[in-house]
Amino acid sequence: MNRAFFLLLTCPLWAQRIQWDQQKTEILKHYRDLIQIDSRAGNETKAVDYIKKVLEGEGIPCRIFAQDPARANLVARIKGNGSKKPLLILAHTDVVGVQPEKWPVGPFSAIIKDGYVWGRGSLDDKPVLTANIMVMLLLKRNHIALDRDVIFLAESGEEADTTGVGINFMVSQHYDEIDAEYSLTEGGNGTIEGGKVVAMNIGTAEKVPARVRLVATGTSGHGSVPRIDNALIHLGAAVEKVGRWQTPMRLNDTTRTYFEKLASMSSPEKAARYNALLNPRTSDAAQRYLQEHEPQAYSMLRTSVVPTRLKAGVGDNVIPSEAEATLDIRALPDEDIAKFYAEMGRIIGDPQIKIVPLPATRPPSPASRLDTEMYRVLEQVSKKMYPGVTVLPSMSTGSSDKAQLRAKGQQSYGFGPAGTREDFTNYGAHSDVERLAEPSIYPFVEFVWNAVNQIATH
């Protein structure tokens, strides 16, 4: 059989359309251009203007939705035949702040040095933004026939959405524009070891912020006269109790699979520890080990309670009538939070302490499922591009704009480019200095393209 014909029969059509080597110049240009746009909160429209020019320049119409003109959101849609519900690909345009004196290069220079592209947003979130732009351009140029609409969203205010200009605005005012069965965005990454991608983290769930204030009250008075009901003493005791409280461990589909797969790719010693978590007889000791040595993993096992602030006192010789502490509580996606607060009250066991919930920053959001076509596609694409890779569904201990989308019923998944552990630790998202190895951006765009094509074409 003619080899070309054989390939045609065995490869899905999308797989052979793109010559990836020929896309590199354009990928790098958009990626660097976007980093060079200083889109810290309040300046997101600058990035939107750039994207609008690029997409409309190739005949992809864009719609702009802005609650604040300087912080616009952009939506573009490539229509499918409507036989399946839409896919949403989204990325935020805003970046966190910078301290220029900590940077060896200009924080918005996008300079390429030592094999890295340096700049704020080089990881968070301009790789995803770049990939999504490239996917739209390539879908259009290659006249790909789609079973479902592919919707592109560039959104503002993900990092500090205090006024609700980004995802909250889009979900509450323009949800019909972004309504989808599946959504893909930041919140995962690949792990490089020995020059090879060995693990792919797909974000499938995240914890829900459920912060509270602990407020202690007592009798005020002169500092020279001790009082049993001193608010500081009561608050101190309460903080100690909740700070040391071992909240119940509970696994969900994501975390159970995560620890099983993590065990399958770890050294025997580590694997034994992850497996020990799942055994009631050995779980306690394994948890204690993680608490000390892998706090991130420990947090994935439970609703966590972390004291972060104390506020009390007006003078060295004054007993204040009130003292308070803030607890940063991160709940498991299925936590019954009212019950949890009640249990915390029982642990504190002090009528002088009141638990006052702070306003919610994210809606409660269920974990996305692992048995969907979208998750299977992400797994397949990972394994095809990186033979031997372990795909890990992961639950973020932080929260993202996926929360609002999951709360609306979307199955929402996170991904990101690959890097070494050292790079993510020392030059990661929100670090003093942010960078991505230049060769990582190209296969990431290809990854997103493959995932979108596989879910949106037949």
Shorter beta-carbon distance to Zn ion: residue 94 or 335? 94
Q: Which stretch binds Zn ion (CB under 5 A): 138-146, 161-169, 180-188, 304-312?
A: 180-188
* Segment 259 to 278, residues that bind Zn ion, using CB under 5 A: none
Shortest distance (Å) from residue 155 CB to Zn ion? 10
Find out whether 190 and 418 touch, Cβ atoms under 8 Å: yes
CB of 157 to Zn ion, least distance (A): 11
Q: Which residues make Cβ contacts (< 8 Å) with residue 402, sequence separation at least 6?
A: 183, 185, 187, 203, 206, 365, 368, 412, 414
Q: Of the ranges 24-32, 125-133, 273-281, 364-372, which one interacts with Zn ion (CB under 5 A)? A: 125-133
Nearer to Zn ion among residue 218 and residue 419 (C-beta): 419
44-56 and 24-36 helices, crossing angle to 10°: 150
**Phi, psi torsion values for 15, nearest 5 degrees:** -65, -25
Q: Identify which of residues 128 and 286 has a Cβ nearer to Zn ion in the complex.
A: 128
**Contacts (Cβ under 8 Å, ≥6 apart) of 311:** 323, 324, 325, 326
Q: Which residue lies nearer to Zn ion by CB, 171 or 239?
A: 171
Stretch that binds Zn ion, among 123-131, 252-260, 293-301, 446-454 (CB under 5 A): 123-131
Interacting span for Zn ion (CB under 5 A) from 124-132, 165-173, 225-233, 318-326 = 124-132
Rounded to a whole number of angstroms, the minimum distance from the CB of residue 430 to Zn ion is 9
Is the Cβ of residue 39 or residue 352 nearer to Zn ion in the bound state?
39
CB of 418 to Zn ion, least distance (A): 17
Encoded one letter per residue, x for contact with Zn ion by CB under 5 A and - for no contact, window 327-346 reads --------------------
Query: What is the nearest approach in angstroms of Zn ion to the Cβ of residue 423?
Result: 17
Quick count: other Cβ atoms within 10 Å of Cβ 167? Answer: 26
Q: Does position 423 bind Zn ion by CB under 5 A? A: no
Angle at 238 between CA 233 and CA 240, to 5 degrees: 95
Query: Which H or E run includes 63?
Result: strand 62-65
Q: Return d(Cα 396, Cα 332) in angstroms, integer.
A: 10
Q: Is 206 in the site for Zn ion (CB under 5 A)?
A: no
> In the structure encoding, which two tokens stand for residue 100, read together?
């220029």
Residue 417 near residue 191, CB atoms below 8 Å: no
> At 198, which helix (H) or strand (E)?
strand 196-206
Minimum CB distance to Zn ion, residue 127 (Å): 10
Name the residue nearer to Zn ion (CB basis): 124 or 446.
124
428 alpha-carbon distance from chain centroid: 13
Closest to Zn ion by CB, 44 or 125: 125
Sheet holding 112-113, edge to edge: 112-113, 116-118, 435-437
Q: Whole-number minimum distance, CB 223 to Zn ion, in Å?
A: 47
Tell me the window of 117-125, 137-145, 233-241, 381-389 that interacts with Zn ion (CB under 5 A). Answer: 117-125
Minimum CB–partner distance for residue 190 and Zn ion (Å): 16
DSSP 430: T
Is residue 125 close enough to count as binding Zn ion by CB under 5 A? yes
Alpha carbon distance 452, 458 (integer Å): 11
Measured from the CB atom, the residue of 44 and 186 that comes closer to Zn ion is 186
- The smaller minimum CB distance to Zn ion, of residues 131 and 146, is found at 131
With contacts defined by CB under 5 A, name the span among 79-87, 181-189, 354-362, 445-453 that binds Zn ion: 181-189
Find all residues with CB under 8 Å of 202, minimum gap 6, and list them: 188, 375, 378, 379, 382, 391, 392, 393, 394, 413, 414, 415
Label residue 286 exposed, middle or buried (CB < 10 Å: 0-12, 13-18, 19+): buried
Distance between CA atoms of 168 and 451, rounded to whole angstroms?
26
Structure-block tokens of residue 214: 């602990």
Total residues binding Zn ion (CB under 5 A): 3
Q: Which of 27, 110, 117, 124 binds Zn ion (CB under 5 A)?
A: 124
Minimum distance between the CB of residue 91 and Zn ion, rounded to whole angstroms? 8
Using the contact rule CB under 5 A, the part of the chain among 137-145, 183-191, 207-215, 442-450 near Zn ion is 183-191
Site residues, Zn ion (CB under 5 A): 124-125, 186
